[in-house]
Chains A and B, each alone.
Chain A
Amino acid sequence: MYRRLLASLLRWTLRLDVGINRVYPADFNPLYYTGGLSNLFLTILILSGLFLFFYYVPSYNEAYTTVQYISERVPYGQIIRGIHRYSADGFVIVILLHFFRNWFTERFRFSRDEPWISGMMLLVFAGFIGVTGYVLVWDQRAELLVVMTGNALAAVPAVGGWLRNLLFGGPGLTNLLLPRMLFLHVGPAVLLYVLLWWHYVRLRHPKVWPPAVWTLFSLGVVLLLSGLIPAASQPQASPTTPPRALAVDWLFLLPYVSLKYLTPLWLIVLATVIIVYGLYIPYQLPETRAEMGLRESGIAQVIDANCTGCELCYYDCPYNAIVMAPSPHPGVTKAAQARKLLAIVLESRCVECGICIGACPFEALELPHFLEQDVEAKVLAACRS
């Protein structure tokens, strides 16, 4: 059932790709660069956020007025605020695209679960940072968000009140609230880069940046939006007139909208289930190659006698599964005798793709169950038939 669903989703994803490739050359298909695009938006967010940070004062009296001050008095402040606002939307859109695309194309297979797990954490933290950003403005929506979050957390049995106090610094609206929100906006943004390191650590040559065309296009769209639809606050929050209706942002505040239909406890249970399921996705499908109908090529093996330590496989392995170690002894062949380094395959990272075999000009690597002579025998059979 799940496999059939995934197969049809894959079919639609690829069909979309084919359609887009008809318009753009494949090198510029934006769907091939969702990761790079999210990196681009994250960079825009960090830079514009630094600008906003210089003006922002995290206190009840001044938070709203400093934000208004940025919008009205600071030169280009409105534009920069708009850039921060709309690139956040862009960020969430492209990371969701990245998420679904890699899900449907099963790019979490074999030893690729680490990018998946770190990516799920990046997704959760990105959403969290978005919500704290909405609180920082301290308009009526911000106040409502705090109240709703507090109520939802308080609904958790046993530890609910404690969780709320942990997040907000005490029951109700305490003076610690906005400084905490500021920290929880900026701190996790730094954490995103730590998680990105984890996201990239097993990838050789990750595509961290989109092509220049898409960089300029995204920048242009964000600039245009911030000029045409200025980012604005709601009326200022005041404890005496609590707001009744939530101004909805469908990208970041979807969980709060669902509170209209769910009790807070159910929402928290649902969110937990979704996140845990997201972390479980790479382990859900059968992992063995036989079950997937794929050949068992076996983990790539280095042929010690032939390895010259040239590092070509090391540069080409897409998963950083090959490391170069100081060679303990010279190789056997003439080219390998003066080697300083020896390639070593880390078995836990190898996905048996064989790219290192294609990289090696010295026949020093092989897939144990799909050797060069097997290929050559097939070629000969094909030529004779």
Chain B
Amino acid sequence: MPELGSPPAPRSRSAPAPDVLARAAGPGAAARRPKIVGFLCDWAVSAEGIVREDGTMRDLPNVTLIKVPCSGFIRPSWLEFALKNGADGTFVCGCPLGDCFNRLGNNLIQDRVAQMRRRLERQKIQPDRVGTIYYGLHEQEQFVAAVREFSDRVAQLPAAPPPPARRPGGASPAQSAGRLPGEGADGAPSGPTPAPEES
């Protein structure tokens, strides 16, 4: 993914960032950093001291943590739900693999997220927007570092809005169809970049 993500990211975020991102992913993405929603297992990393009252992380205000009873509790559809409602990335944090308090939860979510990434690929959402990390109760520093890394990696991704979010309305094919003839006359060569944002 880095070879896909790194070249366009700095340019697109420096020059057309404010309006493109705002249109792309709602008000949350207007900030310079990507909006991340994280699901945190109750038994994995202790949230004490790293989370503010509103659920955002102290060091990374763009990351919101939602505590759940076990990482296996998470339905992959909730991750998709987050992506389609304006989050730029979502991750799940469970106990270290093999050491789940509820025995199997983190192995299950690992498998489910792996399947989900394939599904996302078919929907033209970058699978790297979804991640799993595993840290034990006292590994707060490593956890914060991993979340920061995840956040940076999501920021590197091309800021494409998820096309399926617009699909139910049926507007996107009609729009593009209506626009194509108009642009086809002179604007066709300059067209490749708008494809992700405007669809």
Contact = CB atoms under 8 A, between A and B. Distances in A.
Mostly helix, strand, loop or mixed at chain A's interface?
helix
Contacts of B180: none
A205 B98 CA distance: 12
B159 interface: no
Interface stretch (A79-87, A125-133, A348-356): A348-356
Contacts of A370: 68-69
Interface string A1-37: 0000000001100110110010000110100110000
A40 B101 CA distance: 23
Contact of B108 (A32, A319, A358, A385): A358
Interface residues of A, number: 44
A367 B55 CA distance: 21
B197 interface: no
Closest 8 CB pairs of A and B: A354-B73, A382-B64, A355-B72, A32-B98, A383-B86, A318-B103, A353-B70, A353-B102
B96 A26 contact: yes
Interface in B90-106: 96-99, 101-105
Interface stretch (A167-175, A219-227, A371-379): A371-379
A378 B112 CA distance: 21
Contacts of A318: 102-105
A294 B42 CA distance: 8
Interface in B10-68: 26-28, 35, 37, 42, 54-56, 64, 66-68
Contacts of B147: none
Contacts of A178: none
B81 A379 contact: yes
Contacts of A319: 103
Interface in B105-145: 105, 108-109, 112, 134, 136-139
Contacts of B70: 353-355
B44 to A, nearest CB: 11
B15 to A, nearest CB: 25
A107 B78 CA distance: 28
A28 B138 CA distance: 21
Given A15-B138, A353-B72, A379-B37, 17 more contacts: A14-B137, A17-B96, A17-B99, A26-B98, A26-B99, A29-B99, A33-B98, A204-B104, A294-B42, A295-B42, A351-B102, A353-B69, A355-B73, A355-B104, A370-B68, A383-B87, A385-B28
B166 interface: no
A357 interface: yes
A345 B101 CA distance: 20
A107 B101 contact: yes
Identify which of B72, B101, B108, B137 gathers the most chain A CB atoms within 10 Å of its CB: B72
A297 interface: yes
A113 interface: no
A376 B82 CA distance: 8
B75 A357 contact: yes
Interface of B: 26-28, 35, 37, 42, 54-56, 64, 66-70, 72-76, 78, 81-82, 85-87, 96-99, 101-105, 108-109, 112, 134, 136-139
B85 A379 contact: yes
A98 B73 CA distance: 26
Nearest to B39: A375
A380 interface: yes
Interface in A193-209: 203-205
B98 A27 contact: yes
A105 interface: yes
Interface in A269-312: 294-295, 297
A19 B17 CA distance: 43
B138 A375 contact: no
A316 interface: yes
B104 A295 contact: no
Contacts of A260: none
B108 A316 contact: yes
Given A27-B98, A354-B72, A384-B28, A378 B66 contact: yes
Contacts of B42: 294-295
Contacts of B134: 26
A319 B101 CA distance: 12
A1 B99 CA distance: 26
25 contacts: A14-B137, A15-B138, A18-B136, A18-B139, A26-B96, A27-B98, A32-B98, A205-B104, A316-B104, A318-B103, A352-B69, A353-B72, A354-B70, A355-B72, A359-B72, A359-B108, A367-B69, A375-B68, A376-B78, A379-B37, A379-B85, A379-B87, A382-B35, A382-B55, A383-B26
B43 to A, nearest CB: 9
Contacts of A378: 55, 66
A105 B101 contact: yes
B69 A295 contact: yes
A105 to B, nearest CB: 7
A355 B75 contact: no
A378 B64 CA distance: 10
Nearest to A370: B69
